[in-house]
Structure 1
Amino acid sequence: MFTGIVEELGVITAREDLPDAARFTVRGPTVTTDARHGDSIAVNGVCLTVVTVSEGAFTADVMAESLRRSSLDKLGAGDRVNLERAAAVNSRLGGHIVQGHVDGTGSVLAVTESEHWTVVRVALPVALARYVVEKGSITVDGVSLTVSALGFGAESGHWFEVSLIPTTLSLTNLGGATPGTVVNLEVDIIAKYVERLTTLREADNA
């Protein structure tokens, strides 16, 4: 489990494409200080398992399913990524419950800068729209954020907005997001459980 509070901006130093997967080497001096084989590290919100650790970098294999469902398939050497180690049971939950299981991807529609924050509008896949509510939580590239607005456009379809403070802009890759940037999305797991329980109850009463 993760909290969506990014610990550092890492850099992909190498990518090796395999028949049904890809192996990434990621430099992250902070997240590798206590990392061992088998540990979990979220990379742009995708929970990956550490294979090796060496000199401030780690390798992780990404299976074809994860590549298909996330933006990791578009990444290569030189790309910056958000990194977070799995939450410790004795730590504060600074964000919200994040599993690292990406539900889909969205693309940045607009970036509007102001003096104290930046508003980013992201296209929301129709299959995920029912799980997102204003003032609720959503994970964007592994960053726990609060939905500040929701809407629907004739051309853009469903969208949501998040307001990013300077700290988020400087410490995560969202600071470099531009229209067209593809981001990983994970909706609040509680919303999915509520829907499932409601559906089962309706089926039992039918």
Structure 2
Amino acid sequence: MFTGIVEELGEIVAIEPAGDSAAITIHGPLVTEDAVHGASIAVNGVCLTVVEVKDGAFTADAIKETLDKSSLAALRPGSKVNLERPVRLHDRLGGHLVQGHVDGVGEILSREPGERWEVVTISLPGDLSRYLVDKGSITVDGISLTVVEAGADRFSVALIPTTLALTTLGHKKPGDPVNLEVDVVAKYVERMLGDRT
């Protein structure tokens, strides 16, 4: 479980294809401080399992399902990525409950700069729109954000200076893909109510 509070902006070192999967090596000295084989680290909101740690970098395997259903397949050496270690039970929950399980891929549609902040509009796969509400939570590339406006096929978020400076959303342009994870509580509520009808 994660919180959507990015700890570090990492960088892709290498991607080694292996048939229908890939081994991805990511430089992230902060998140590798206590990482061991089998640990989880969220990479742009995708929970990956560490298979090796060396010199401030870690390697994780991404299987076909992960590559097909997230934006990780679009990464290249040099790409910046948001990194977060899992929350510990005694930590503060600064964002919201994030599983690291991508529900869909959106696309940056527009950026509207303010004096010190920006409103970013992102496309939304239609089957996910029922889980978004104005002022609700969404995870974009592993970043816990508040929805400004929820539409049928898009939503907007406002990015504060810290988010712009310390995450990939400060650099992404219209047309760039982003991983989306909707609030898991909304999915559970839907399932429970659906079972009652």
- TM-score, normalization: structure 2? 0.99
Shift of 1:177: 1.4
Shift of 1:187: 0.1
Instruction: Tell me what 2:73 maps to.
Output: 73
| Structure 1 vs Structure 2 CA RMSD | 0.6
Q: Which of these residues, 184, 188, 203, is aligned with residue 183 of structure 2?
A: 188
Shift of 1:150: 2.1
Shift of 1:162: 0.3
Do the aligned partners of 2:129 and 2:151 also contact (CA within 8 Å) in 1? Answer: no
Q: Which of these residues, 153, 172, 175, is aligned with residue 170 of structure 2?
A: 175
Q: Which amino acid aligns with 1:182?
A: P
Q: Secondary structure at the match of 2:131?
A: coil
**1:5 and 1:129 mapped to 2: Cα distance?**
23
Unpaired runs of 5+ residues, structure 2, are none
**1:69 and 1:200 mapped to 2: Cα distance?**
27
Q: Secondary structure at the match of 1:130?
A: helix
Instruction: Tell me what 1:42 maps to.
Output: 42
Please identify runs of 4+ aligned residues in structure 1 that moved more than 4 A. Answer: none
**1:58 and 1:184 mapped to 2: Cα distance?**
21
Larger Rg: 1
Give 1:16-55 correspondences, 5 Å limit: 16-55=16-55
Do the aligned partners of 2:129 and 2:150 also contact (CA within 8 Å) in 1? Answer: no
1:135-173 per-residue CA deviation (whole Å, 9 max, x = no partner) reads 000000000000011235xxxxx1100000000000000
1:51-70 per-residue CA deviation (whole Å, 9 max, x = no partner) reads 00001000000000010000
Instruction: Tell me what 1:155 maps to.
Output: none
Shift of 1:178: 1.0
**1:16 and 1:132 mapped to 2: Cα distance?**
36
**1:69 and 1:97 mapped to 2: Cα distance?**
20
Q: Which amino acid aligns with 1:116?
A: R
Shift of 1:175: 0.2
Shift of 1:116: 2.3
Shift of 1:20: 2.3
**1:63 and 1:162 mapped to 2: Cα distance?**
30
Shift of 1:19: 1.1
Shift of 1:117: 1.0
1:19-64 per-residue CA deviation (whole Å, 9 max, x = no partner) reads 1211000000000000000000000000000000001000000000
Q: Secondary structure at the match of 2:194?
A: helix
Instruction: Tell me what 1:111 maps to.
Output: 111
